[in-house]
């Protein structure tokens, strides 16, 4: 059975990932943590960009807000970090839900541009709010060990993949795919498209905030320009596209591939890493418009877009 | 009892008046044909009733409930389903998933849901293609898929916007049979169709739109004989030149032939 084979593959990959900290060095664990973080972020982006067909260019807002809010609550309000983390994740989810309501009325490029503006506006607000650390950034207590953060990030990535899997195999996931195919027809069969889209956007925001919250305590120093860096959104997008938008494994595959490529390029030259990323984007658009998973599979979870559409149009 | 009541409905697209002062009501259990030349406003009328578009003026009532302010998904859940002239399907889903999603949104679950989907696929003769990705279906199959999906909403009123365009004669006969079966189940229908053979066959009543206005309303055989209807389709010069002849040829003759068949 195809499903059993996929389950077996997933279990193997997970087992391999679990073995990394005891068997390798701190450097590899650090790279692995970053890959797991991006797998989680790309998985979150996939829910709104891949499944629902609304290519967001502002998902970094959720990552950044999650990190800054958790930091502020713990440093400035003296909450225990676990409580600050939960509050920050939930708060960011509500933020995504509320902003999704107006933003998701826009379609295609208009939505993309509006979300780009959302990320920049959030950055501006956070930078100018004293409670959130302002432009100075903030230092968090140094806790844990590299291995711990690796495992926490990994579990967020697994959660992200699990949510995607459950969605794809549910009628709610079919609802999102229906919206992606044809929103007017989706409404005509009684789907409350506003609710469906906004909840997908909120889920996307929750996953972004989770990664942000862990990133903050992992790095122990955060400032707005770093956590609101637009290239984080671009990476989420490129990884998902490269792996296969709308698939479960796509974002993970993309995150691992881009992660490895970046590290290899860094070994050659510091500046070459962004060159590799750029070439990667061009290669994906030209040769793999449906992504690695998308090009191989047909039917559910794979064949997501029309034959001739540009990938970013979803 | 009137299942649908349209009062003084009007729609402007910018300065263009597409529909003006449309009023009519549909009796429960009847089949009404909606005809008119291209650009008459038929699809716009359907869009307004189904809530895909908002009227500029006027009101729409479904079982005495105002529709003109409800979002289209609420209207669909009330039991007013539609098909689209240019097919709108969920191309990322299989045929079966398309139909099942519609039945799911109105609250069906589990065994009952699957049984209902099976019944609809059998009714529309699509059962053997259930697992096909709907993007890969032929146009006639996509049209039948739209019908099956609309029926999955358990509609009391069905708006059919040219479901039969592009079908060959054999498929057409089957489609007419299917619509007659739906009528026997008591589903009220408003059918837009250019094929007069279909209209004459299944309609209890025909209303005619021309340049955004209702110009005729009545029995099918009466309506096609009206000179203003023939004028709308064939132009006033044609009607004048034929006025001398008692026997109406051309479209009228064709329509009468269609009438005799039923």
Range of the domain at B256: 2-261
| Residue A49 scores a pLDDT above 60 | yes
| Residue B19 scores a pLDDT above 80 | yes
CB pairs under 8 A between A and B: 89
Cα→Cα distances B203→A103, B190, B220, Å:
45, 9, 7
Choose, out of A189, A196, A308, the residue to mutate when testing the contact with B (most B CBs < 10 Å): A189
Distance CA B194, CA A36 (A): 58
Q: What is the DSSP string of chain B?
A: -EEEEEEEEEEEETTEEEEEEEEEEEETT-EEEEE--TTSSHHHHHHHHHTSS--SEEEEEETTEE-TTS-HHHHHHTTEEE--SS----TTSBHHHHHHHHHHHTT--HHHHHHHHHHHHHHTT-GGGTTSBGGGS-HHHHHHHHHHHHHTT--SEEEEESTTTT--HHHHHHHHHHHHHHHHTT-EEEEE-S-HHHHHHH-SEEEEEETTEEEEEE-HHHHHH-HHHHHHHH-HHHHHHHHSSSS--HHHHHHHHHHHH-
Whether B113 has its CB under 8 Å from any CB of chain A: the answer is no
pLDDT mean over A279-308: 63
Q: Percent of chain B, pLDDT > 70? A: 91
Q: In which band, very low, low, confident or very high, does the pLDDT at B231 lie, cut at 50, 70 and 90?
A: confident
C-alpha angle B12-B17-B20 in degrees, rounded to nearest 5: 95
Q: Which of B72, B84, B90 sits opposite A178 (nearest CB)?
A: B90
Inter-chain residue contact A187 with B90, CB threshold 8 Å? no
| Residue A313 scores a pLDDT above 80 | no
Q: What 3-state DSSP class applies to A184? A: helix
Inter-chain residue contact A304 with B90, CB threshold 8 Å? no
Q: Which of A171, A180, A299 sits opposite B101 (nearest CB)?
A: A171
User: Domain residues of chain A, as ranges?
Assistant: 25-229
Q: Considering only CB atoms, which chain B residues are within 8 Å of A177?
A: 90, 92-93
The nearest CA of chain B is from the CA of A238 a distance in Å of 22
ipTM entry: 0.85
What's the pLDDT at B245?
59
pLDDT mean over A109-138: 91
Inter-chain residue contact A171 with B149, CB threshold 8 Å? no
The nearest CA of chain B is from the CA of A203 a distance in Å of 21
Inter-chain residue contact B73 with A193, CB threshold 8 Å? yes
Residue-wise pLDDT for B141-170, tens only, equals 999 999 999 999 999 999 999 888 778 888
pLDDT mean over A100-129: 94
**Domain total of chain B:** 1
Inter-chain residue contact B90 with A186, CB threshold 8 Å? yes
The nearest CA of chain A is from the CA of B47 a distance in Å of 10
Whether B50 has its CB under 8 Å from any CB of chain A: the answer is yes
| Residue B89 scores a pLDDT above 70 | yes
What's the pLDDT at B244?
59
Residue-wise pLDDT for A157-167, tens only, equals 999 999 999 99
Q: What 3-state DSSP class applies to A223? A: coil
The nearest CA of chain A is from the CA of B115 a distance in Å of 16
Residue-wise pLDDT for B38-72, tens only, equals 888 999 999 999 999 999 999 999 999 999 889 99
The nearest CA of chain B is from the CA of A298 a distance in Å of 9
| Residue B212 scores a pLDDT above 70 | yes
| Closest residue in B to A305 (Cα–Cα) | B92
Side-chain-facing half-sphere of B29: CA atoms under 13 Å: 4
Q: Which of A124-138, A266-280, B9-23, B198-212 has the lowest mean pLDDT?
A: A266-280
What's the pLDDT at B262?
37
pLDDT mean over B83-103: 93
Distance CA B132, CA B144 (A): 14
pLDDT mean over A209-227: 94
Q: Considering only CB atoms, which chain B residues are within 8 Å of A300?
A: 92-94
Q: What 3-state DSSP class applies to A71? A: helix
Going through chain A in order, the beta strands assigned E by DSSP cover: 138-139, 221-222
Between these two residues, A56 and A283, which has the higher pLDDT value? Answer: A56
């Amino acid at each position: 059975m195809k499903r059993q084979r996929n389950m077996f593959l997933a279990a193997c990959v997970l087992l391999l990932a679990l073995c990394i900290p005891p068997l390798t060095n701190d450097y590899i664990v650090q790279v692995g943590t970053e890959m797991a973080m991006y797998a989680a972020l790309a998985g979150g982006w996939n829910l709104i960009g891949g499944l629902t067909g609304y290519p967001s260019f502002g998902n970094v807002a959720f990552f950044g807000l999650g990190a800054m809010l958790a930091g502020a609550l713990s440093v400035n309000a003296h909450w225990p970090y676990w409580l600050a983390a939960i509050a920050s994740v939930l708060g960011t989810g509500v933020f995504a839900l509320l902003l999704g309501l107006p933003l998701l009325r826009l379609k295609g490029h208009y939505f993309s541009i509006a979300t780009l503006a959302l990320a920049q506006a959030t950055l501006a607000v956070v930078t100018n709010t004293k409670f959130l650390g302002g432009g100075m950034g903030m230092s968090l207590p140094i806790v844990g060990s590299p291995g711990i953060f690796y495992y926490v990030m990994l579990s967020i990535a697994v959660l992200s993949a699990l949510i995607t899997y459950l969605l794809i195999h549910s009628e709610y996931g079919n609802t999102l795919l229906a919206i992606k195919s044809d929103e007017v027809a989706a409404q005509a069969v009684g789907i409350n498209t506003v609710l469906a889209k906004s909840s997908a956007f909120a889920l996307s925001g929750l996953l972004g905030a989770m990664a942000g919250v862990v990133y903050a305590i992992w790095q122990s120093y955060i400032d707005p320009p770093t956590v609101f860096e637009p290239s984080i959104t671009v990476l989420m997008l490129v990884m998902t596209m490269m792996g296969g938008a709308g698939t479960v494994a796509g974002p993970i595959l993309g995150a691992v591939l881009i992660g490895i490529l970046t590290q290899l390029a860094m070994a050659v030259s510091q500046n070459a890493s962004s060159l590799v990323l750029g070439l990667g984007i061009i290669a994906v658009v030209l040769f793999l418009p449906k992504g690695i998973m998308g090009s191989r599979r047909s039917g559910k979870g794979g064949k997501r877009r029309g034959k001739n559409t540009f990938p970013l149009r979803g | 009892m009137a299942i649908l009541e349209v009062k003084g409905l009007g729609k402007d697209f910018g300065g263009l008046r597409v529909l003006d002062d449309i009023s009519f009501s549909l009796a429960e259990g009847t089949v009404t044909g909606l005809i008119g030349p291209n650009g008459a406003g038929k699809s716009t009328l359907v869009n307004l009733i189904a809530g895909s578009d908002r009227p500029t003026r006027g009101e729409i009532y479904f079982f005495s409930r105002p529709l003109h302010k409800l979002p289209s998904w609420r209207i669909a859940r009330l039991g007013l389903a539609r098909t689209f002239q240019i097919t709108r399907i969920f191309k990322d889903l299989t045929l079966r998933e398309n139909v099942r999603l519609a039945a799911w949104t109105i609250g069906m679950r589990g065994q009952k849901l699957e049984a209902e989907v099976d019944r609809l696929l059998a009714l529309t003769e699509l059962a053997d293609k259930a697992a096909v990705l709907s993007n890969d279906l032929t146009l006639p199959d996509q049209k039948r898929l739209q019908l099956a999906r609309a029926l999955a909403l358990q509609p009391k009123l069905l708006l059919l916007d040219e479901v039969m365009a592009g079908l060959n004669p054999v498929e057409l006969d089957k489609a007419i049979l299917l619509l007659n079966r739906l009528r026997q189940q008591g589903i009220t229908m408003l059918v837009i169709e250019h094929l007069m053979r279909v209209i004459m066959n299944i309609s209890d009543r025909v209303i005619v739109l021309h340049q955004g206005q209702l110009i005729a309303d009545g029995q099918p055989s009466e309506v096609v004989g009206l000179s203003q209807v023939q004028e709308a389709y064939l132009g006033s010069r044609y009607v004048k030149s034929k006025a001398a002849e008692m026997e109406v040829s051309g479209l009228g003759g064709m329509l009468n032939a269609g009438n005799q068949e039923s």
